[in-house]
Structure 1
Amino acid sequence: MKRFFGIVLAGALACGLAFALVGCGGNSEEQASKGNSADKKQITINVKCPPVTTAYDADHPDAEIMDLFQEAGERFAATYEDAEVTFNYTKFQYVDEKAQVIDKFDTPEAADVLFAGSFNLPTYIREGRVATLDDVIDDELRADIDEAIWQQCMVDGATYTMPFYQLQNTFMVNADLMRAAGLEQYIPADGEIAQWSIDEFNEILQALKASMTTSGTFPLAFYASNNQGDTHVMSLLRAYGASIFDDEGNFNVSSPEGVQALSWVSSLNEQAIIPKGAENLEFISNIELFNNGQMAICPGNMVNFRAVVDEMGMDAFLANFPDPTGSGIATTFLNGFTVFDNGDADKVKVAKDFVRFIYSDDEFLRYALSSIPVNEHLVEQNKDQIAYLDMYTRNSQNTVDFLNNTPNWEGVRAAFYPNMQDLLRGTKTAEEVAAGIDESCNAAIAEGLKEIEASNAARGAGSAGATNGSSGSGTTQASS
């Protein structure tokens, strides 16, 4: 693990103070203004993030989110009027989130700002560790981001993440294999994402199966060898209308629609429409089959799609996961900024103002162009230069929040895939697998809630409910 610290000071103010101490230069008004800097609160903000690549154009292939933090931090510190701000920057490896975030709670090294895409975020919120951001989200910013995206950032009506960019998960589809199967009518126009009902999807799969007669070729991807088999598989389990969760946030795959979807997957397995032995396959194995032309339909995001179309030259298009309505669904990995409430109202206020400051200048927002920016004005400005941006942005209305603010998602992931292995091996029926998913995944959720309750009790919180972060509320926005 590498740890990087950078310190950004308000240079102009410090310089002014130095001149005042030696009695040099400037009129009395200037010296009075500079002298006042000594009276400002001295605030240190700990900014932490994993090594997230944000190569937003060809001239910045090595850009990272840390570069954005440092660039914005330098300008923020030089212009912020409510305090004299110092930033400590820490970049940590993904596997070190516990060491750098969780284990640092209630210490001077606790994160004040985190670039969040973490499966642990729902737990942090329920523990009352995260401040709300609604007081620094004005009408202009809220209107610039799709409401479906805001909803993914909210718990009980309060916003806990400032969204920055997303990666949508849809299907990638080999257009040549579709044509060979006589399915031209299901190929969308350029710049569009195909939307299929489950009935249409089954027709497509059967036609592909009849056309793809070479050994080792498959119409549809599937995998369940490890905990990667959560997002895409759960999306397929929505094919007949299952919502996956009940109103209380617990798994409810035992619904009639959920059992029907599991029976459908079992049938696809028996027909070899999905790879035989998928219980032993990883996601990357399916990507390789798709890249080699041995698979017609495979999940992927914009990074995967760019690779097969722009780099490999494949004639491919995107399609949503099927649903009963024909609109289809996509899942999204949303990344953004989170502010922690570490019990210091002044730090929380400055951290919030810093996050809002990032959205004041497109020079900072351009880092989001490495993926799918959430700010619609940025997409509009760059849609002709950055391929696929407009297409994915228009599809945001069809995205679902697969995390559902579920605590202990890592535990849920670990519990989910063994049940799918039982289905693919034929050792359990669809009804038994549905019951197993509900039991094991809900046990993981309960374990997470128990840990949250214990943590809150230790901190004197007294409950596992999400707090509103009121101790850190502040309405002043940082100047740009």
Structure 2
Amino acid sequence: MNNRGLLSRAMTRRSALGLFGAATLGASGALALPGCSRGATRSAQPTRLLVKVPRTGHDVVFDDSINEVSQVITAMARAFEQASPTPVQVEVEVFEQNGYDSAIVDCFDTDRAVDVLYGDYFNMSTYIHTGRVVPLDDVVTPAVRNDIYDLLWNLSTIEGRVYMMPYLSRQNVLAYNKDLMRQAGLERLIRDGVIQSWSIQEWDEVLDALAASLPEGTYPMMMYAASSQGDTHIMTLLRSQGSPFFNDEGRFCLSRPEGIAALRKLQEGVARGWWPPHAENLEIEDCSSLFRNGQLAIYMLNNASVSRYGDSVGLVNFPGGVDGDGCATMFVSGFEVFDSGSPEKVQLAKDFLSFVYNSSQWLDYSAGTLPASKAVSQRHGNAIPYYDLFQSNSGHVVDFTGSNPDTRAVREVFHQVIRDLLKGNVSPEEAAFRLDEQCNRAIDEGVRTSTLHT
């Protein structure tokens, strides 16, 4: 992608001044940005900022050339370099989705230490508790706060301080292959234009019928446990018998009858043919490939990926929930600023976020999924595929992280227990005990070692 081309196209949509959003001309005629240091002395050498972002697909309703979020962030960086009164050079580094710790923690105190991270909250929230992520309350002006949905601010705030800036979110539900459902005689459960919620009895009927009718090499539903990738979806399935998953203190509570019943369903699904064979050795991407190839009847999709399948799929919430009416999950993505020991770099990193969040131009580039900005939702909601459908399903969204300060440590424990469960090495009761004991130990350790930057 030619980011200069992206910047040029953006300027044809609005005036150059509009490109810089709330940037204004100061008394001297120089461009000044809200939140930027006033009266900064320009040096011969620009200050270097390193922005890191995982490789993530991204669509924008008004720009078909965008296919990765890094393209948008790179264009933001180039525009910020031009607008900043303090000379700055912004490098954007892309890393793979399974490489968060290598890109972030392993680079602490090196010349590749991150200044700004864009990513998924459930991956990046852990870093807040290292004491290296700075609060961003001075970036959150009243106008910015009012423009972002309150739920997202709640997810961005720890002990009353804002540590993450939400940019967009994706809502995850399950999708079913309509042709495979018809082959199994399940036409009565196919519905268009809605996100359904099936009862537990209907779920059993669907999975048993698919297992009995699908041809060899085609399977009813996703399942995997080879790594922590995608395990949040398996966590959500453990609410299928009414388990809240977390207790009031944010700790795992799967040893209750509802949790054990859900673990038993997962294990029984092996013998009943609900999952691909040897699912304990599969990754989420393996199931994604099967679904794309028409070899898997039910798989996870979100509002940003449904469009790829057109009317060949129907949508249904994850089974269960405390009210029995189905579950969905929400994955929020946004920004963090890290303190690498340079107050100047911290301030410039905050200035970069002020630049983005005070610019309708760059906030508009979140319009392809569910924008964090109310104004962007109003401007582009009608053009965002399935926007109204998923917004109306938001009441089914459950919290899959709780108050966990070390999500990544918990996930490393979780998938190993599920793998043993699928292999038949542990009973549902034993799995529930191990999950509660080991995951809660990881949560407690995260609480004990948590350090917040002030």
TM-score range, shorter chain: 0.7 to 0.9
Counterparts in 2 of 1:356-367, with a 5 A limit?
356-367=354-365
Partner of 2:393: 395
Counterparts in 2 of 1:184-223, with a 5 A limit?
184-190=187-193, 192-209=194-211, 212=213, 214-223=215-224
Question: How high is the TM-score relative to the length of structure 1?
Answer: 0.74
Partner of 2:318: 321
User: Partners of 2:262 and 2:179 in 1: how far apart?
Assistant: 28
Q: Deviation of residue 238 (structure 1)?
A: 1.2
Question: How high is the TM-score relative to the length of structure 2?
Answer: 0.78
The structure 2 residue matched to 1:163, chosen from 142, 158, 166, is: 166
Q: Deviation of residue 233 (structure 1)?
A: 0.8
Highest Rg: 1 or 2? 1
One-letter amino acid of the counterpart of residue 219, structure 1: P
The structure 1 residue matched to 2:155, chosen from 133, 152, 155, is: 152
Partner of 2:421: 423
Q: Deviation of residue 415 (structure 1)?
A: 2.0
Q: Does the CA contact (< 8 Å) of 2:197 and 2:317 recur in 1?
A: yes
Q: Deviation of residue 350 (structure 1)?
A: 4.2
Q: Deviation of residue 416 (structure 1)?
A: 1.7
Distance 1:61 1:127, change over 3 A: same
One-letter amino acid of the counterpart of residue 84, structure 1: T
Partner of 2:452: 466
**Structure 2 segments unaligned to the other structure (5+ residues):** 4-26
Partner of 1:459: none
Distance 1:135 1:32, change over 3 A: closer
User: Partners of 2:378 and 2:199 in 1: how far apart?
Assistant: 30
One-letter amino acid of the counterpart of residue 333, structure 1: F
Q: Deviation of residue 321 (structure 1)?
A: 0.6
Partner SS state of residue 240, structure 2: coil
Partner SS state of residue 175, structure 2: strand
Q: Is the counterpart of residue 56 in structure 1 residue 54 in structure 2?
A: no
Matched positions, count:
419
Q: CA RMSD in A?
A: 3.6
Q: Deviation of residue 131 (structure 1)?
A: 2.2
Partner of 1:15: none
The percentage of counterpart residues that share the same residue type is 36
Counterparts in 2 of 1:321-470, with a 5 A limit?
321-324=318-321, 325-342=323-340, 347-445=345-443, 453=449, 464-467=450-453, 469=454
Deviations 1:240-268 (A, max 9, x none): 23232334443332222211111122222
Partner of 2:40: 40
Distance 1:70 1:178, change over 3 A: closer
User: Partners of 1:109 and 1:274 in 2: how far apart?
Assistant: 42
Partner of 1:128: 131
Partner of 1:271: 272
Deviations 1:295-343 (A, max 9, x none): 321123345433333xxxx621221112242442222332101122446
Counterparts in 2 of 1:67-78, with a 5 A limit?
67-76=71-80
Deviations 1:192-213 (A, max 9, x none): 2222343443343344445x25
Partner SS state of residue 134, structure 1: coil
Q: Does the CA contact (< 8 Å) of 1:380 and 1:390 recur in 2?
A: no
Q: Does the CA contact (< 8 Å) of 2:246 and 2:252 recur in 1?
A: yes
Partner SS state of residue 383, structure 2: coil
Deviations 1:280-308 (A, max 9, x none): 33323323333343432112334543333
User: Partners of 2:111 and 2:424 in 1: how far apart?
Assistant: 53
Q: Does the CA contact (< 8 Å) of 2:122 and 2:331 recur in 1?
A: no
Q: Is the counterpart of residue 173 in structure 1 residue 176 in structure 2?
A: yes
Query: Please, which moves more after superposition, 168-177 or 230-239?
Result: 168-177
**Structure 1 segments unaligned to the other structure (5+ residues):** 5-28, 454-463, 470-480
Q: Does the CA contact (< 8 Å) of 1:48 and 1:90 recur in 2?
A: yes
Q: Does the CA contact (< 8 Å) of 2:304 and 2:368 recur in 1?
A: no
Distance 1:438 1:78, change over 3 A: same
Q: Does the CA contact (< 8 Å) of 1:40 and 1:84 recur in 2?
A: yes
Q: Is the counterpart of residue 234 in structure 1 residue 235 in structure 2?
A: yes
Q: Deviation of residue 395 (structure 1)?
A: 3.0
Q: Does the CA contact (< 8 Å) of 2:208 and 2:272 recur in 1?
A: no
Q: Does the CA contact (< 8 Å) of 2:177 and 2:314 recur in 1?
A: yes
Partner SS state of residue 176, structure 1: helix
Distance 1:269 1:146, change over 3 A: farther
Deviations 1:431-456 (A, max 9, x none): 00111222333344456567xx3xxx
Q: Does the CA contact (< 8 Å) of 1:54 and 1:369 recur in 2?
A: no
Q: Deviation of residue 72 (structure 1)?
A: 3.5
